[in-house]
Structure 1
Amino acid sequence: MKARSIVVYTVLRLLAFLVPFGILMIFPLFREYYWLAAIFAALIGLSLSMLFLRRPLDDVSAGLAARRREEKAAASDEEVEDEAGGR
């Protein structure tokens, strides 16, 4: 798994939240109700990530799946060796 793909996805998700939050905080109503700005920014960020961040999410998911397969294969190899050595 590439650490770069995880970092890219994380930074893009943070930007998808922080940019709308910053824009909403410009308005006087949202300065008073900052929690409302956070909720709207979260909804906007979620929508943006679903629309535009599909590819980075697929890269991260594929890397995690490959890593899990490697760990499972290594664990099964060790079990086979333990059973063969124990007989």
Structure 2
Amino acid sequence: MRARSVFVYSVLRLLAFLVPFGLLMLLPIGREFYWLSALFAAMIGLSISLLFLRTPLDEVSAGLAERREARRREASDEQVEDAATDET
């Protein structure tokens, strides 16, 4: 897994929330009901990430799957070695 892809995805997700939140806070009702601005910004950020951030998410998911598979293979190799050592 590349740290760069995780970093890029995280920054884009934060921007997808912070930009709408900042814009909503510019409105008078947004300043009065900040929790409502946060709620709408979260929904807008989720929608943006589902529509436009599919490729970075796929890269991060593929990296996590590769890491998990590598750990699984490593663990099984160790188990085979331990079993061979125990038999002798």
* Distance in 2, Cα, partners of 1:70 & 1:81: 17
Match runs of 1:22-37 below 5 Å: 22-37=22-37
Q: Structure 1, residues 1-49: CA drift from partner, whole Å, max 9, x if none?
A: 1000000000000000000000000000010000000000000000000
Q: Following TM superposition, where does structure 1 have runs of at least 4 consecutive aligned residues deviating by more than 3 angstroms?
A: none
Query: What is the aligned length?
Result: 87
Aligned match of 1:73:
73
Deviation at 1:71, TM superposition (A): 0.2
SS of 2:26's partner is coil
Aligned match of 2:20:
20
TM-score, normalization: structure 2?
0.98
The runs of 5 or more residues in structure 2 that have no matched partner are none
Aligned match of 2:6:
6
Give the alignment's Cα RMSD to 1 decimal. Answer: 0.2
Q: 1:18 is matched by which residue type in structure 2?
A: L
Deviation at 1:64, TM superposition (A): 0.1
Aligned match of 1:62:
62
TM-score, normalization: structure 1?
1.00
Deviation at 1:81, TM superposition (A): 0.0
